């Protein structure tokens, strides 16, 4: 059973932390300042410390420094209202797992604690029900795009350039953007490189803490010299030049959502095809990559002596039926070449698409993965 | 760095804190003044640095009880004075954190203090009128101004 130490001078916060985590079966210890926290760590081992920054006697960074000096490597999750750059830099240098900015929602805290403990997002107390998936949006919701620019036309322009299926949020200023970042996961954050009244290095640091996996990109004019260098010095990874061009936006999306683009996922001999969320002119590229990935996956199955497999193609785009049918025909050939019989899962629409292709007729189609497995 | 936000925006910041932590939303009542009854207890946070800032939150006895009960998820009858101080201090701490971000101030927060001296609070109200916020029957006064006038007032009292 994981043991967690909450160190905060506020009894209310310690109580809230305990209330959120005890139902997960965690054992919670409490300390009211850094000195008390160090004493508790000496008397018992903990799996995680949830640590405030501003406290009397010995503050959070002070306690963290003493822990690390003494060789204590217990993971630390900072839970604080403090975002001063120097303090954030210090605690990051000393090694923290993550940051939760107050005010915080219980679900956000739970999700970050589970992540810090390397536990699954649906972790349940032994004998208890799993944490409801809907209660952990940070861990389960698809990543989004955030645009921060004081000109609404920029929001509209970005919206017009990214696929409709990709969720986009927009904010006119840094404060609203940070509020959005507390409750949504982002894969790509586009920020006006000339956002009024904003300390950009400070903003990028705060965004980095809240969204460690997001790609931070500055939107800037081409006219200035060495824009890319200047923006990188302010904490950005890249620059998107205004006015925008399709190719640059596409490249950023591909880079930012790479992990979402696992085209073929495999679990033993059950393969699942990812859907397509791009513009129409990118569909051909999707099919080509998908074919290559499937060929690899089928070869691996053959190497593993599987003579049959289930392929969940329910997400396959059918907007260009001829292309989809051609893909299926190619797949049928690969299946035969590898000696792995495929049982396909898909809709009646997919059945109609492949029904007209002689080459794909050898593929057996089922309505669900369970049905396909049962037919083995 | 930005100037102090207008009253409406300050109200939104406080409400962001109370809505997230307590499920209570406040709205500013521009026509009202932070009268003594609304200042039964005040938690004050001094933000130190090149641009010193004071952020305070006051409420009436009933308001403090209601806020604290919500913070601790307990009935008002179970609330004691230390819990009230704790809850008010934590709310002002979070409000100051959001205000600092809003103003792009890269300055450190301090440990909040509780002020109950009516004379000090009355003098503070003369110097810097508080913003009154309401959520049904709960009233709050928010003090947000440049400088650390309250520290001098408290020291002089």
User: Does residue B2 fall inside a structural domain?
Assistant: no
Mind listing the pLDDT tens digit for each residue in A237-259?
A: 999 998 888 888 888 887 787 65
Domain harbouring B116, CATH code: 3.40.1550.10
Q: Domains, chain A, ranges and CATH?
A: 3-133 (3.40.50.2300), 144-259 (3.40.50.2300), 264-374 (3.30.750)
Distances (CA, A) of A84 to A11, A234, A376: 24, 16, 60
**Residue B101 to residue A197, Cβ atoms within 8 A:** no
- Assess A104–B contact: CB distance below 8 Å, yes or no: yes
Give the per-residue SS3 of chain B.
CCCCCCHHHHHHHHHHHHHHHHCCCCEECCCCCCCHHHHCEEEEEEECCCCCEEEEEEECHHHHHHHHHHHHCCCHHHCCHHHHHHHHHHHHHHHHHHHHHHCCCCCCCCCCEEECCHHHHHHHHHHCCCEEEEECCEEEEEEEEECCHHHHHHHHC
Mutate to test the interface with B, among A81, A91, A101, A174 (most CBs of B within 10 A): A81
- Number of independent structural domains in chain B: 1
**Residue B16 to residue A103, Cβ atoms within 8 A:** yes
CB B35 within 8 A of CB B136: no
Query: Which chain A residues are within 8 Å of B17, Cβ to Cβ?
Result: 103
Check residue A376 and give its pLDDT. 66
Average pLDDT score, chain B: 89
ipTM: 0.92
User: Does residue B1 fall inside a structural domain?
Assistant: no
CB atoms within 10 A of CB A266: 15
Mind listing the pLDDT tens digit for each residue in A118-173?
A: 888 778 766 554 444 333 333 334 678 999 999 988 998 898 888 776 788 999 99
Mind listing the pLDDT tens digit for each residue in A136-146?
A: 333 334 678 99
User: Does residue B37 fall inside a structural domain?
Assistant: yes
Query: Which chain B residues are within 8 Å of A108, Cβ to Cβ?
Result: none
Burial of B85 (0-12, 13-18, 19+ CB in 10 A): buried
Whole-angstrom Cα distance, residue B49 to residue A37? Answer: 28
User: Does residue B55 fall inside a structural domain?
Assistant: yes
Residue of B nearest to A18 (CA): B72
pTM reported for the whole predicted model = 0.56
User: Does residue B78 fall inside a structural domain?
Assistant: yes
Min Cα distance A341 → chain B (Å) is: 54
CB B105 within 8 A of CB B49: yes
Q: In A117-173, which residue ranges form alpha helices assigned H by DSSP?
A: 137-140, 152-161
Structural domain including B150 reads 7-155
Percent of chain B with pLDDT over 90: 48
Query: Which chain B residues are within 8 Å of A203, Cβ to Cβ?
Result: 104
- Residue range A95-109: mean pLDDT, rounded: 88
User: Does residue B14 fall inside a structural domain?
Assistant: yes
């Amino acid at each position: 059973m994981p043991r967690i130490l909450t160190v905060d001078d506020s009894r209310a916060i310690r109580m809230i932390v305990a209330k959120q985590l005890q139902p997960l079966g965690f054992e919670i210890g409490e300390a009211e300042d850094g000195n008390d926290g160090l004493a508790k760590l000496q008397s018992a081992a903990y799996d995680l410390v949830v640590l405030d920054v501003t406290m009397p006697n010995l503050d959070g960074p002070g306690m963290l420094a003493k822990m690390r000096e003494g060789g204590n490597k217990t993971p630390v999750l900072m839970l604080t209202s403090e975002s001063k750059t120097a303090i954030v830099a210090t605690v990051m240098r000393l090694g923290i797992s993550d940051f939760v900015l107050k005010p915080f929602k219980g679900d956000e805290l739970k999700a970050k604690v589970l992540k810090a403990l390397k536990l699954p997002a649906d972790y349940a107390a032994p004998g208890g029900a799993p944490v409801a998936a809907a209660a952990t949006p940070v861990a389960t919701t698809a990543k989004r795009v955030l645009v921060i620019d004081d000109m609404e036309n920029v929001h509209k322009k970005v919206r017009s350039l990214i696929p409709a299926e990709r969720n986009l949020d927009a904010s006119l200023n840094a404060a609203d953007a940070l509020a959005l970042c507390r409750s949504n996961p982002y894969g790509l954050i586009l920020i006006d490189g000339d956002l009024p009244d904003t300390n950009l290095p400070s903003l990028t640091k705060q965004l980095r803490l809240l969204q460690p996996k997001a790609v931070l990109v500055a939107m800037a004019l081409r006219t200035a010299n060495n824009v890319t260098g200047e923006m990188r010095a302010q904490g950005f990874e890249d620059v998107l030049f205004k006015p925008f061009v399709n190719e640059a936006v596409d490249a950023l999306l591909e880079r930012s959502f790479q992990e979402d683009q696992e085209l073929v996922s495999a679990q033993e001999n059950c393969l699942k095809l990812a859907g397509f969320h791009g513009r129409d002119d990118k569909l051909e590229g999707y099919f080509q990559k998908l074919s290559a990935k499937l060929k690899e996956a089928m070869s691996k199955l053959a190497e593993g002596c599987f003579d049959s497999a289930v392929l969940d193609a329910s997400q396959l785009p059918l907007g260009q039926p001829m292309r989809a049918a051609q893909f299926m025909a190619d797949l049928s050939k690969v299946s035969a070449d590898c000696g792995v019989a495929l049982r396909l899962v898909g809709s009646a629409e997919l059945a109609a698409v492949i029904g007209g292709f002689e080459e794909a007729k050898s593929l057996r189609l089922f309505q669900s993965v369970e049905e396909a497995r049962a037919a083995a | 760095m930005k100037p102090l936000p207008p009253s409406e925006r300050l109200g939104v910041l406080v409400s962001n804190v109370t809505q997230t932590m307590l499920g209570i939303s406040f709205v500013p009542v521009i026509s009202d003044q932070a009268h003594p009854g609304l200042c039964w207890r005040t938690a004050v946070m001094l933000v130190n640095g090149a641009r010193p800032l004071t952020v305070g939150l006051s409420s009436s006895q009933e308001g403090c009880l209601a806020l604290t009960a919500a913070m601790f998820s307990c009935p008002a009858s179970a609330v004691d004075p230390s819990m009230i101080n704790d809850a008010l201090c934590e709310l002002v701490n979070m409000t100051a954190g959001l205000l600092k971000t809003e103003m792009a101030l890269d300055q450190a927060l301090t440990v909040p203090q509780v002020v109950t001296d009516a004379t000090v609070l009355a003098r503070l109200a003369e110097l810097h009128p508080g913003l009154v916020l309401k959520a049904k029957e709960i009233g709050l006064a928010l003090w947000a101004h440049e400088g650390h006038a309250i520290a001098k007032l408290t020291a002089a009292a």
